[in-house]
Copies of this chain bind each other. A is one copy, B any other.
Amino acid sequence: MSIKGVETRTRILREALGQVSKIGFEGLTLGPLADQLGLSKSGLFAHFGSREELQLAVLQLAAEDFRREVLEPAVHQSPRGLRRLLAILKRWFNRYPEGGCVFLAGSAEYDDRPGAMRDALADFHLQWRSALATALRQCQQLGELEPEVDVDQVAFELFAIAAGGHHDYRLYGKQAGGRVKAAVERLLRSCGAAPEKLIWK
């Protein structure tokens, strides 16, 4: 693969990711994508052996973006414990007003269609859930959350709040933000978090 090869490939993937976050993976079609990039349909197609390969590459790019923009800055900038957990959640939920979440939309599109896309999506969610559980476990070790709570259960409930908030964001607009915040606070409070430590700085 030449220099120009990887350049156009990433150009394609960036544009494709933008389109997917608006119209979903199934809405992504080669013709309009090629037009938007000033390429021919077959020229674009040659970079990936099939449409599914393109979709998988887009999903992988989205996953890399997500880790880089949500998890990594929170880990680097905030100390272990509630501070870091809240930093993660803030960066996570702040993505929703910006546009549709490709992981939630993707799950809805492929949950009844076995194949590589479904597998990759299931894997992403599993990894993310485990990252949340790790952050929660560190809170426990610091005594900021009660030791008897099931961190996997709490990770599920955080994800559920995200899913519900995303739904309301997409359907009813920005008013959903307050609901998400209040839900997280109630959840963490019920796990023994001190109210004065729940600051969304």
Contacts and interface: CB of A to CB of B under 8 A. Distances in A.
Interface of A: 22-24, 26, 100, 104-105, 107-109, 111-112, 118, 121-122, 125, 150, 153, 156-157, 159-165, 167-168, 170-172, 179, 182-183, 186-187, 189-190
A189 B190 CA distance: 9
A159 to B, nearest CB: 5
Contact of A170 (B107, B150, B190): B107
- Overall SS of chain A's interface: helix
A182 B152 CA distance: 12
Number of copies of this chain that the complex holds: 2
Contacts of A171: 107, 111, 118, 121-122, 125
A111 B109 CA distance: 13
Contacts of A170: 107, 111-112
Given A168-B156, A182-B153, A108 B112 contact: no
Contacts of A112: 22-24, 100, 170
A108 to B, nearest CB: 4
Given A108-B108, A160-B163, 9 more contacts: A24-B108, A24-B112, A105-B108, A108-B109, A122-B171, A125-B167, A156-B179, A157-B179, A161-B164
Contacts of A168: 156
